Amino acid sequence: MCVKSILIGLGKSALACLLGIAASVNLFAQDHFNPKGTGPSTYTAALQAGLRASLPFEDEQDFEESRRGFIAAPASRQILAANGAVVWDMSRYDFLLEGREFDTIHPSLQRQATLNMNFGLYEVVRDFIYQVRGLDLANMTLVRGNSGWIIFDVLLTTQTAAAALALVNEHLGELPVRAVVYSHSHADHYGGILGVTSEAAVNAGDVQIIAPTGFMHEAISESVYAGNAMSRRAALQYGRVIPSSPFGQVDSAIGKALAAGTSGLVAPTLLIEAAFEEHVIDGVRIVFQNTPGTEAPAEMNAWFPDQKVFWAAENITATVHNIYTLRGALVRDALQWSKQINEALYRYGQEAEVMVASHNWPRWGNDRIQQVMRTQRDAYANLNNQVLFHANQGVTINEIHNEYQVPVSLQQEWSMRQYHGSEFHNSRAVINRYLGFWDGNPATLAPLSPSESAPLFVEMMEGADVIMQRATALYDAGDYRLAMEILNKLVYAEPSNSSAKDLLAAVFEQLGYQYESSSMRNVFLASAQELRSGAAAMGAARGTTPSSARAMTTSQWWDAIAIRVDSKLADSMNYTINFSTPDTNQNFIVEMSHGTLSNIEGFLLPNPDVTISMNRIDLNTVIIGDRTLAEQLRSGIGTAQGNVAVLEQLAGVLVDFDPGFEIMPGTK
């Protein structure tokens, strides 16, 4: 029972068990100094000691697999942009190579973070498949075709992708890129496209780009429509605002971190439409398996029947993934995810001798592959089924994360540990998918905002002094989640109360040290830093690059404009626009009505307020943000007939989003 409580929770019962069994406390070394924060409490240190004793650290197969096939590392552990800026720095994680145990890191997460120190070029299948790992969050996988490379996923940035391909050319000989496969619609798998090829090469037919059906819609809707908010939250999830150290960001579960370079997007030339679709690419036979509704709404696995190699995309990695990702995205379908893995297991897994993925490291041998596939299949199915088992007995979205427990048998499998997702936010996501955010209690259906309700709570708790005394006692006793409950109310009620913010930061810090999920660790530690020092200045969201502008549809651009409309300012406006792009032979009606901008393709009105014609190639300058539509027209690029003043009206109600908006109160 004691071991079970250690493995599944961070509550006081687990701590009590650990205090009883911990033989020693590994106090944190002084040469890694955390100037503004605190070291691990005795409760946190005891928790980590118990985990070291209870988890199967004697199983080192992952380490053997992660080292297998190593060819060479780059000469430098940094990748620089053309202007000299550092876009990737692997050396900031060298503390993980010291061979020491840090009480500020969950032992299982430290193990994963050490495994993710892979850095360089690896051979996966002799003379056929190679991987570059550790040069970005994702891996670049290269398949040798008859005349060149077929690249599966091209990392997040132009700079890291170019560095990865340069490493390959240096050690394997330079070959042309014949095809690029985007496994799915997340930017860390397509953003580096211009580091391995060019739009000209794709347009000329020299390079084929292959993606799952729905790719462009999902890529744009996720990274553009909610891009500003998602970038802000991603900074928390991936710990981009905190230094890398034993006290800070140590890993991102599926890789070390997000690179900081520039990203692009070139639209696919071949979409995989069917559930299973076979193609011969540069002489290589590949069967693609569409897996919608799994790790991404548009995603696909691949099977190499002649070599018995299974490409698992991001559907099977070395961690349980996110059903709900903290940066924000559509809630995923845990049951569908499980079923797609099961489909792959019985369709390909019975024969597979190598399994390779877009993150972490490959697996070799059929027994090993089936073990990992079954473990991950069962993890997602159990999450779905057991959460609904509880929900159907009345457990709500606000309770499930304290009720759902991963089976002990699964907890002993390294491949399903909670490094990226966690049972806490994943279990809530399952309920949200089926039942939504409401827990059935009318009091939570339309609640007050925290800043409105918190003052009453503070008043009823007899003020800040009483709360601080009680919270301090809870902190000293290791009851961090209880301390968080009351301190959070106080901080919302009194955003300028620095003592409350400092104590809440200390609470967040201890919880961050204890969480196995890198996502949760990073969120808690980054929020602690913001409470102490204020929110860090944020660069602009990755936004629309020239290549992604050219890839985006005109309708998607108008949809993105519509999100920036302030309805309160626009509510009295009513106008219509006929909008045409002659070079693509497309027509649109754009309408402002009831404070809302809408567009539809394929129609024109007989009497619009204004008719605008502009070639799509010239509109790209507007989509990128270099010029406005009105500026292009004034320069003689395109034509306008009618009341051109409606463009000024539209411009007057558009809001430029702040990429560093406040999340915790009193941090701006």
Q: What DSSP string runs through 533-546?
A: H-PPP-PPPS---H
Domain ranges of the chain: 2-428, 546-652
Would you say the pTM of this structure is higher than 0.75?
A: yes
DSSP per-residue letters across 38-53: ----HHHHHHHHHHHH
Q: Are 102 and 114 in contact (CB under 8 A)?
A: no
In the prediction, which pLDDT does 146 show? 98
Q: Are 354 and 312 in contact (CB under 8 A)?
A: no
d(CA 235, CA 662): 13
Q: Are 162 and 170 in contact (CB under 8 A)?
A: no
State the CB neighbour count (10 A cutoff) for residue 85: 10
3-state secondary structure of 280: strand
State the DSSP H helix or E strand holding residue 432, giving kind and residue range, or none if neither.
helix 423-435
Residue-wise pLDDT tens digits, 573-588: 999 999 999 999 999 9
CATH topology of domain 546-652: Nonspecific Lipid-transfer Protein; Chain A (3.30.1050)
Which CATH entry fits the domain spanning 2-428: 3.40.50.1980, 2.40.30.10, 3.60.15.30, 3.40.1580.10?
3.60.15.30
**Kind of pairing between the strands at 639-642 and 610-613:** antiparallel
Of 69, 156, 76, which is closest to residue 121 (Cα–Cα)? 69
In the prediction, which pLDDT does 11 show? 35
Same fold for the pair 2-428 and 546-652: no
In the prediction, which pLDDT does 666 show? 85
3-state secondary structure of 475: helix
In the prediction, which pLDDT does 659 show? 80
Cβ-Cβ contacts under 8 Å for 384 (sequence gap 6 or more):
334, 335, 338, 430
d(CA 63, CA 52): 17
d(CA 491, CA 664): 8
d(CA 427, CA 524): 19
Locate 87 and state its tokens: 């876009």
d(CA 644, CA 630): 8
Which residue numbers in the chain have pLDDT < 50?
A: 1-33
Query: How confident is the prediction for the chain on average, in pLDDT?
Result: 91
Cβ-Cβ contacts under 8 Å for 559 (sequence gap 6 or more):
225, 599
